[in-house]
């Protein structure tokens, strides 16, 4: 008989496995072209593993360049693997973007590009637009994050102050044909938001980017604001003829991962209900709301009857507070545990499918009816740890962390609440 925690961990593992490049990509690779080169370009936390899957599929070394996060490299026979920083771009991020753009600019109409994109590409493939300094983009991103902007809002701004995002990489590849395969980590699976859409047309405008920074009170340097106001940084639009004939397909997504976890839950004897794959909001507030739904199910069998599992995905937000170390998943869980207040028969797991929650080498954590009591036994006030933004330290102390190491994929956050 599996314990509730074991079932939760198996569901998380199934979600990650469903998004492994070696299993989700092969059916989507295009046929090898009869003429010209087949070139691989890419960016993201999963891009090196995706590149390796491509070489294994075609059975030979391929040429190209991809950039992934430090520590996420997978050796390839022909494709050049670069590493850079995440979540804050560094000099290696800029060098990678220049290297990939240079490769793209060498292509001809006979060539075919296989572009492999996954979450994290926004910072790994980072080259500011002309006239924008790297430190200015870092400060804009930092201010938006601290203000609580959603990932889609941040990506809209990024696309408009970049030399490679917002379809610009696809334009650089023209006249070659571009086939983009995506492992998505963004709510709603908008291809223009995954890695800020380097090969995707962008429906948003410079005016939209300005509305976002103004909404959050982010002060832009004068020359950047002026360029946005004059559409000097406009991204590539859907009707651009240089994108004609390009194709984009999703290989994995939060929805696919939740469906894989649901199958594990049902095999273990629990009804599984997917509440949403694109849930956003402040992590601690989402935790409180989920606790309310859980108690309604547990106490009144509404809207579902136990035993069951409530599944959700997406990307919540942690607005800067306190001096501790937290992450979206750890903060969600600690808030959930506090709101449940030891409710009997309720267990939960939350983790980032890339294995890194909030910059820490910890995927997430698990909770159960005894979580708060275990904290008190260590002399800890759960509320104080939450208010100080120190959820990771709380779960480390009580031995409830989930540590996977780099998973070499990324389909955003995974949350499961098991109700007996």
Q: Which tens digits make up the pLDDT trace of 121-171?
A: 999 999 999 999 999 999 999 999 889 888 889 999 999 999 999 999 999
Token pair 């170390």 is found at 325
pTM: 0.91
Same domain, 297 and 202: no
* pLDDT tens, position by position, 54-63: 999 999 999 9
94 Cβ neighbours under 8 A, 6+ residues apart: 126, 127, 128, 134
Same domain, 148 and 261: no
Last residue of a domain, one of 188, 221, 252: 252
339 Cβ neighbours under 8 A, 6+ residues apart: 287, 288, 291, 292
Band (336; pLDDT cuts 50, 70, 90): very high
Q: Is the peptide bond before 307 cis (omega within 30 degrees of 0)?
A: yes
Same domain, 244 and 324: no
Structural domains of the chain, count: 2
Same domain, 313 and 351: yes
* pLDDT tens, position by position, 1-45: 589 999 999 999 999 999 999 999 999 999 999 999 999 999 999
Q: Across the chain, what does the average pLDDT equal?
A: 95
241 Cβ neighbours under 8 A, 6+ residues apart: none
The pLDDT of residue 1 is 58
Looking at the predicted structure, is the pLDDT value of residue 195 above 90? yes
Q: Give the pLDDT mean for 97-105.
A: 97
Q: Residue 290 domain-assigned?
A: yes
Q: Give the pLDDT mean for 382-394.
A: 94
Same domain, 247 and 262: no
67 Cβ neighbours under 8 A, 6+ residues apart: 42, 43, 47, 81, 82, 83, 84, 92, 93, 96, 97, 100, 121, 124, 125
Q: Residue 18 domain-assigned?
A: no
- For the chain, how far is it from start to end, CA to CA, in angstroms? 14
Q: Which domain holds residue 241?
A: 25-252
Same domain, 295 and 404: yes
Q: Count the Cβ atoms, other than its own, within 10 Å of residue 180.
A: 24
The pLDDT of residue 308 is 98
Q: Which tokens is 313 given? A: 């995905």
The pLDDT of residue 192 is 94
What CA–CA distances, in Å, run from 213 to 47, 157, 190, 321?
30, 8, 21, 20
Same domain, 192 and 219: yes
């Amino acid at each position: 008989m599996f314990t509730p925690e074991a079932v939760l961990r198996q569901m998380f593992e199934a979600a990650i496995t469903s998004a492994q490049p070696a299993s989700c990509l092969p059916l989507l690779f295009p046929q090898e072209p009869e003429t010209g080169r087949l070139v691989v370009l890419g960016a993201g936390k999963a891009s090196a593993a995706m590149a390796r899957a491509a070489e294994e599929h075609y059975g030979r070394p391929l040429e190209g360049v991809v950039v992934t996060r430090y520590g996420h490299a997978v050796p390839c026979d022909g494709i050049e693997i670069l590493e850079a920083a995440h979540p804050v771009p560094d000099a290696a991020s800029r060098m990678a973007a220049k290297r990939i753009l240079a490769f793209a600019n060498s292509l001809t109409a006979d060539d075919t590009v296989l572009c492999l994109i996954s979450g994290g590409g926004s910072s790994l493939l980072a080259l500011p637009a002309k006239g924008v300094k790297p430190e200015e983009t870092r400060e804009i991103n930092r201010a938006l994050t601290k203000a609580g902007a959603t990932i889609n809002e941040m990506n809209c701004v990024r696309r408009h102050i970049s030399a490679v995002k917002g379809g610009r990489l696809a334009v650089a590849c023209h006249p070659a044909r571009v086939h983009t395969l995506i492992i998505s980590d963004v709510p709603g699976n908008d291809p223009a938001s995954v890695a800020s859409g380097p090969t995707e047309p962008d429906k948003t405008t410079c005016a939209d980017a300005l509305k976002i920074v103004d909404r959050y009170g982010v002060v832009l340097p004068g020359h950047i604001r002026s360029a946005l106001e004059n559409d000097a940084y406009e991204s590539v639009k859907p009707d651009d003829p240089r994108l004609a004939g390009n194709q984009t397909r999703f290989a994995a997504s939060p929805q696919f991962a939740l469906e894989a976890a649901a199958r594990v839950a049902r095999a273990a004897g629990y009804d599984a209900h997917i509440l949403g794959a694109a849930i956003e909001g402040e992590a601690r507030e989402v935790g409180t709301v989920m606790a309310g739904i859980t108690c309604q199910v547990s106490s009144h069998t509404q809207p579902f009857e136990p035993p069951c599992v409530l599944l959700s995905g997406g990307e919540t937000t942690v607005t800067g507070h306190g001096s501790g170390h937290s992450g979206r998943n750890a903060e969600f869980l600690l808030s959930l545990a506090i709101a449940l207040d030891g409710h009997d028969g309720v267990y939960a797991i939350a983790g980032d499918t890339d294995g890194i929650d909030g910059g820490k080498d910890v995927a997430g954590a698990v909770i159960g009816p005894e979580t708060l009591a275990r904290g008190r036994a260590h002399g800890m006030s759960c509320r104080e740890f939450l208010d100080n933004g120190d959820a990771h330290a709380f779960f480390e102390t009580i031995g409830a962390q989930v540590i996977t190491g780099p998973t070499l994929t990324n389909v955003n956050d995974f949350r499961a609440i098991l109700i007996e």
